[in-house]
Each structure stands twice: as structure tokens, then as C-alpha cells.
Amino acid sequence: MAEDVDGRPRLHHLALVHDRHPVGRPRDRKIRVTGAAFRISSYDKTAQTITAVPDPNWWGTKPKLDSIVFRALDYTAWTDAYLNKEIDYASAILPEDYKRLAKAAGTDIRTGARWGEVHITLNGARGPFKDVRVRQAIQHAIDRKAVATAFGKDLPVQLKTYGSHFFMPNQAGYQDNSGKYGTYDTAAAGKLLDEAGWKLKGDTRAKDGKQLALTYTLSAGSTSAQEDQAELIQAQLAAVGIKISIKKVPSNDYFSKYVTIGDFDLVSFRWVDQVFRSEAYPIYRQAAGKNLYENYGSVGSPEIDALLKKAGEITDPTEQAKLYNQADTKIRAPWATPSRSISGPRSSPSARTSPTTARAGSPTTTSRRSAG
């Protein structure tokens, strides 16, 4: 699964290789199977590189490159490596990277549509978020358009909000299912919190003598845009009486010790490249005890599971889209997790809302022009 760490791509880029399994049979490091126009010619564990060369047996159009070297490189080093001409391709989706890369000589900046969403997941398995009214209030209290605008500042494309967990706006089958909970409405948020028993005491709400205080868990390796997002949401929720503390944790622990085991109140990360909608099944299916699958917010229903299972079993795209949209509507129903997402139409990054909150979009990438 191609999953971004803190909104940053891990796979599919020239500078990065994710070698999860040994190649070939046990104790046999020979690469026996290849595909398409290139074959793997060598890999160097010390240099952390894999080299691909044209496959002479390839029956299609012959490649123009003599070789491609994939290099394992931490994302935070991509921009500097590109500017130092150590690599020839890098992502420019983050404003701070775009501003530096756009000025580089001999560089093309390109935008394109990619299935992707940055979201805020609310943990419905603990604390105040066990009450669906609190989760619904959060959705009303977050101004998705303001978050999208803030995140997209200094980029050459406009981020837009959208309303589907399964389709990008430029895909057949897309429909906006965000409904009333996709609207920014602080009065509605306040009413829901009142109904849940969280009454304003000064600037912060309280219930049974306890403050409505939650933690937004953030990776220490977050970008400035991600930090800005956390602080903006902190301010937006404070406006309705919810106290948010931002907790930074080590980057290497962010997923394994917090996200994937459900040890958080709010977190934000990115899902990408759900080319097949059935890939979303583990994200929204009901958790089974400590096995959360990928439903880290731990909220779902048998009805959602049944709709997703049925959608994954049929081949008619029109009927399949209907089922996914029915499931999407249920995900936003009273027992589902709320969220905000951001994603957008072709050639522009963008934004959405659901059992996790999210922003998604079309990546901006940088590549170096070659002479001749």
C-alpha cells in the first residue's frame, strides 16, 4: 500500500525505494522475474540504490534512458538533493519545496491528478469522541475551505474541498455526500456540544467538572504546512470551546506507536493511490477487538461492511459506484466517524470531510530537463 507519512509520499518517486521483502527464494538474491521495458540489473545495500536497465526482451517501444537508479532517501532531503543535482525528480507539493524548486534552472514543474487525501481522523473509541454528537460538532467547527487555503498558499494550484471517501471529483461516479455535516457552522457545533452535556465555562467547555480537552498528535517530522494546519484547527476548535493540545512525537513512532494502534484523539496523515476502490475496505470496516485493520478511528457498522463487500464483488462500474456512494452516505451517518478531507479536480490539489477529516489533491512534481 502506498501510504504517505505525514502527508509526504513514500513510494512511486525516483528518489525512493521501499524494499520490504527479499527478492527471489530464501538465500537466493538473483532477480528472476521482471516486467515492462526495464529489468533490475543490480542493487547496492550499502549505497541503498537499485539500478534498472532496458530489458532486451521487451516487445514494446524501446526506452530512451540507458538506466534508472532508484535511491533510498528521506523525503526531507529530496529538495536539497535535487538542487544539488544528486537526483532528477522531486515532489513540489509542499509550499516550502515549491518555492525553492521553481527557481531551479533547467527544471519543469508539472501538475497532474492523483488519488490522494490528507485527512484528520477522530478517534471514536475513547474519551469525548465516543459521543457521536461531539464528532459531529468537530465537523461543523472546522472550516475546511480555510484549511485548504492556508495549506495551499504559495502553490500554483488552488486547493478545493470535496465530499467523497471513494471518488475524486474528476472520476466517474463522484458525488458530494458530505451533507449537512460538511458545512462550517459554529452555531450548530455549539448546539451539538450543549446537547452532549459540554457547557461553556468561560472560554472552554466542561462536563461533570472535566474540561473538553483533546490532543492533536503530530509527527516531529511534520512540514511547516502541517504544523500550520494543526494550529489553525486548534484555533477553530477553541472558538467553540474545545481545548486542543498539539503533541509532537518522534517521526519513527508516529504510526507504529500512535496511529495504527489508536493511541490518539486527532491525527492527520495522507491516503494515496486508491486506484481500486476496494482498497478502502479496511479503512472503513468495523474493527475486531485490537485489530483495527486500517480503521484507526474505530467507528463503523455492519451495514457499511456489507455495502463495501458487495461493491467489491460486482464488476458493473455503474452499480458499483451506487454502492460505494451508499456506503459513503452511511459513513457520514450518526454512527460513523466524522472527517474533513481535501482533494481536487485535475491539475489542482484540493479538500473533503468524513469519518476522518481530509485534504487531498493532485501532486505538483519537479523534473530536470535533459539536453538532447
d(CA 324, CA 332): 13
Q: Does residue 168 contact residue 330 with C-beta atoms inside 8 Å? A: no
pLDDT tens by residue, the chain, 372 residues:
333 434 433 333 344 333 333 344 444 556 667 778 999 999 999 999 999 999 999 999 999 999 999 999 988 899 999 999 999 999 898 888 999 999 999 999 988 878 888 889 999 999 999 999 999 999 999 999 999 988 888 888 888 788 999 999 989 999 999 988 889 999 999 999 999 999 999 999 999 999 999 999 999 988 888 999 999 999 999 999 999 999 999 998 999 999 999 999 999 998 889 889 999 999 999 999 999 999 999 999 999 999 999 999 999 999 999 999 999 999 987 544 333 333 332 222 333 333 433 344 445 666 776 544
Q: How far apart are CA 221 and CA 207, in angstroms?
A: 35
First to last CA, the chain: 37
**What cell numbers appear for 342 in the block?**
481535501
Percent helix, strand, coil in the chain (nearest 5)? 30, 25, 45
Is the pTM value of this prediction over 0.85?
Answer: no
